[in-house]
Amino acid sequence: MKAVVVGGGLAGSSAALELASRGAEVTLVCAAPGATALSWGTLDVAAASPLRRGGLPLRDPASGHPLAPIVRLHAVAAANPAHPYATLFRERGPEEEVKEAVAALDAWLAPSGLRVHGSLAQTRWLADVHGALRAADLAFSGAGEGDLEGAEEIALVDVPGLPGFEVRSALRTLAAEMAAVGLASRALSIVRLALPEALRDDAAQPARFARNLDADAARGALQDAVAALGAEGRLLLVPPVLGLDPAAGTRAWFEATAGCRAAELVGAPALSLAGFRLDRALGAALSRAGVERIAGRVERVEIEGVRVRGVQLAEPGPPSRPADTAMLPCDALVLATGRFVGGGIVERGGQLVEPLLGLPLHDLAGRRVDSLAANQLVRGDYEGEQPLFGTGVRTEMRLRPLGPDGLPRFANCFAAGDLLGSFDPARDRTGLGVALLSGHRAGIEAAAC
Amino acid sequence: MLRGYRGFAHEFARTGSLRALWMQLRTGAAHVARRALGRDPNGDPIEVFLRNYAADGFRLPDAESAALSLAAEACLVCSLCSAECARVGGAPRIDPRDAVIAASRMAIDWVRLELPEPIATPCAACRACETVCPARIPIQRVQEWLAAPRA
């Protein structure tokens, strides 16, 4: 069978990889990297930010014990019946569904040197570059090795000249947040990485600095400086610049050289390379799986009755695919076009629309919003619920998007990732969890249709 | 109004540039005059602006520069271009992200300003940066534009 996936983030890539593993001939159309490439190093199926308003509870209100991520996952699905998790877990429990999807993702990424760390059984305490704590569950290599639990002493590594990282401010925040959640009995300090002359200018450009760390020359020059940071029982938390290529094993080199545990801080825009590494590793996995990738935009979807017949590309394809055959026929279509970053939902003439199929859009509360403008769905309360951020399409159990009548609009069209509405990843702390689980499931369903 | 005066005094103390001080004073005075007299009656405000500042080298850019500057304003400052540039081993004089930010700063409200002289040397033009830009900014053209000789 021929399948077309639109969107190359985690949701689209997972769907394409799952389809390919089930023998489908897959073409992935992707205009540009979306929100996945801007992610921060955690996967977060059901994480919590303990000191932020909204989101999932961290502790059991009765006993005060921290909740395991799996319990929070059940809670989020139960609290909102329209949440993609509630849809996904209707047939099978979250345990199996998550285990299978995470194992698949780990296998896809492992050849690129990127692994998925953690489980849903236990909360992992990670710190971000601002010193804020995250009660995370799953995280990628880099930040994933940085669980604060088990460290006798925590040291933040200051890289002189690195923009966007204020180590003293991060330390103050981390100390306060650890005290607030009862992780306080650990020594916290700042250690300074003494950069040799040759690398000093490079630190102003994090990506270049990270690339240098992947090579032996810079590692040799930094050997003594890194070795000086280590101490027995210490956890070194480094800004997220430990290498551009996960296969180069830069974090492991840093750890071995320092002689104690070392991990990256969870990233932040403009400083984190974690999303870039994930994006590239997904690209490599797609190539290995034989998925054809086309850089371009889909202009139109060919429809015949209740079936999608193919997609028409807006821009001419690559030389191997002449412009007059820019129509890609397909037996199944997976839409993983994202929400606002990816262009899965756009505002046109003052109205929110799903541009490819004109699917009905709903906000968090289930209200139809596709005749409204984006600014009508934003409230003044900064941390409060924003209907706009939960806007997207609704689907039935098999992830086929619903039409205006509440029934699946097409027999062979599936939706995954942020295009799905009824959840706000920022408040749910679902991170890339919905992208992975819905992408994986959409791949399975599309292969079976 | 006093806050404006503190602004240019501070600028003068920082840069020591008499020309900057003169321009600040003139802008401040024009502001006061405009506040006192109401809107300038002498026609299209853009033309008035350009007439007033032509002597200082301000002029509208050509259509291509204006379009590039406008495209650059879509930058999310995500730095994926820098990462891809580093990954493929590019070594431009100006990092692609910084080039895009520079281009987007060439706009002051509704007036877009022309660069007085090239501020970069051309990069290798491999366009790897463009393949990862979520905002689809023509980064390589921005680099070329920053490096182009000026009239």
Q: Would you state the pLDDT for residue B33? A: 81
List the one residue out of A203, A192, A134, A190 whose CA is nearest residue A164: A203
pLDDT digits (tens, 9 = 90+) for B16-66: 778 777 877 888 888 788 777 766 566 777 777 777 777 766 667 778 888
pLDDT digits (tens, 9 = 90+) for A145-192: 999 988 899 999 999 999 889 999 999 999 998 988 888 778 999 999
Q: Which residues in B lie closer than 8 A to residue A273 (C-beta atoms)?
A: 83
| Average predicted confidence (pLDDT) for chain A | 91
Question: Do the chains contact at A205 and B86, CB–CB below 8 Å?
Answer: yes
How would residue B115 be classed by pLDDT, with cut points 50, 70 and 90?
low
Closest B-chain CA to A277: B83
**Candidates A38, A206, A208; nearest CB to B78:** A38
How would residue B3 be classed by pLDDT, with cut points 50, 70 and 90?
very low
Length of chain A: 449
Q: Which domains does chain A have, with CATH numbers?
A: 2-40+277-448 (3.50.50.60), 92-271 (no CATH)
Q: How far apart are the first and last CA of chain A?
A: 10
> Could you tell me if residue A54 is left (phi over 0), alpha (psi between -120 and 50 degrees) or otherwise beta?
left
pLDDT digits (tens, 9 = 90+) for A120-150: 998 899 999 999 998 899 999 999 999 998 8
What's the average model confidence in pLDDT over B103-113? 64
Return the bridge partners of B54, or none: none
Q: Would you state the pLDDT for residue A57? A: 65
Q: Would you state the pLDDT for residue A56? A: 59
Q: What pTM did the predictor assign?
A: 0.87
Closest A-chain CA to B90: A208
Q: Would you state the pLDDT for residue B61? A: 73
A42 pLDDT higher than 80: yes
Q: Are A394 and A384 in contact (CB under 8 A)?
A: no
How would residue B2 be classed by pLDDT, with cut points 50, 70 and 90?
very low
A250 pLDDT higher than 80: yes
Q: Would you state the pLDDT for residue A239? A: 96
How would residue B120 be classed by pLDDT, with cut points 50, 70 and 90?
confident
A431 pLDDT higher than 50: yes
Question: Do the chains contact at A244 and B82, CB–CB below 8 Å?
Answer: no
Q: Which residues in A lie closer than 8 A to residue B134 (C-beta atoms)?
A: 32-34, 37-38, 341
Taking CB atoms and an 8 Å cut-off, how many pairs form between chains A and B?
A: 62
Q: Which residues in B lie closer than 8 A to residue A34 (C-beta atoms)?
A: 134
**Candidates A33, A244, A271; nearest CB to B86:** A244
B109 pLDDT higher than 70: no
What's the average model confidence in pLDDT over B79-92? 92
Whether B132 and chain A come into contact, CB under 8 Å, resolves to yes
Cα distance between residue A213 and residue A250, in whole Å: 7
